[in-house]
Amino acid sequence: MTIDTSIVEEGQELEKPSQAPMTGVVAAAEGRRRGKPRKFLFLRNSKAVAGMVILGFFLLIAIIGPWIAPYDPSARSDDILQPPSWEHWFGTTHLGQDVFSQILVGTRGVIVVGFVAGILATAIGVIVGVTAGYIGGLGDETLSVLANVFLVIPQLPLIIIIAGQLPTVGGVTVAVVIAITGWAWGARVLRAQTLSLRRRDFVEAARANGERTWRIITAEILPNLTAIIASGFVGTVAFAVLSLITLSFIGIGNTGEWNWGTVLYQAQSQLALQRGAWWWFVPAGLCIALLGMSLTLINFGIDEFVNPRLRSTGLNARSLRKRGIRPRIGFTPVVREAEETRA
């Protein structure tokens, strides 16, 4: 087990107060177990760390990609449809362009759109969600319906009809369109959490003390929403990356700007499949999957941080099997390991 459990109590505050009878007992014992500071708890979650490392790698490529790319991604050459080799790590296109350089250069577009859309959508989500949860009443009803409408309307077709009718579609435009259509999920979760925080004693106390509303929100409520905001942000980045790539793949957006989706668009439209040029579309897809996976892993880390029940408490399948332990609800395993000193 790599996760510290001293945040158990904090985590339990965040979820509904239905606890198994003995988790209280056990959590109390666990909580007192290790007294390390809780600052770096999140970083001790192996899933989160793996996710951060992969994401960090792509961020680095996004910054230095255009400089380290061995070729100009658009430059044609005589090496047409070459499989991977030392000169062209990921092979070449039908025009002799270097796929490896296209991917390296294209990383920036993906990351920028993902993060710009993520930041914008999170900002809208926080404003709408926290406001709705805090003011309550009719305002809450209206904002909730608004968020739910945006959740239910299929986002991708909406993005397509908006982006499809814009005369010029640069990366940032796409990011804005994605943010406008993708903020609702975060808002919904934040609203529910704000609603429950608002009824907590410390917020009630602050209100009774006559604290100003914006101060209560920034000092008392927002800090308690950090984990949810973070997870909403990460989720939106993943959504934005997928949307951007899908848009580029179906040919919406500026094809002069490289990103992984445009690589796939060209591969598809130039019949890479039929020509057996797997190197043309496999690397881009794997990059998307890796980036998406890193974001999912970070969110798993946040989820486990917030909801202690999801943590695998040292459940390493192999070592458990060796000891004959089968962890199950309702059938506590029995091993005869304790020494017996009492009669």
β-bridge mates for residue 92, sequence order: 98
Nearer to another protein, 63 or 166 (CB): 166
Minimum CB distance to another protein, residue 153 (Å): 5
Residue 104 and residue 65 in contact, taking contact as beta carbons nearer than 8 Å: yes
Minimum CB distance to another protein, residue 33 (Å): 5
Nearer to another protein, 42 or 239 (CB): 239
Minimum CB distance to another protein, residue 299 (Å): 10
β-bridge mates for residue 98, sequence order: 92
Minimum CB distance to another protein, residue 40 (Å): 19
Minimum CB distance to another protein, residue 183 (Å): 14
Nearer to another protein, 5 or 82 (CB): 5
Q: How far apart are CA 122 and CA 38, in angstroms?
A: 26
Nearer to another protein, 209 or 341 (CB): 341
Nearer to another protein, 108 or 188 (CB): 188
Q: What would the 3-class secondary structure string for 59-122 be?
A: HHHHHHHHHHCCCCCCCCCCCCCCCCCCCCCCCECCCCCEHHHHHHHHHHHHHHHHHHHHHHHH
Q: Tokens 């609603």 belong to which residue?
A: 195
The residues, any chain, with a CB within 8 Å of residue 21's CB and separated by 6 or more, are none
Q: How far apart are CA 109 and CA 171, in angstroms?
A: 7
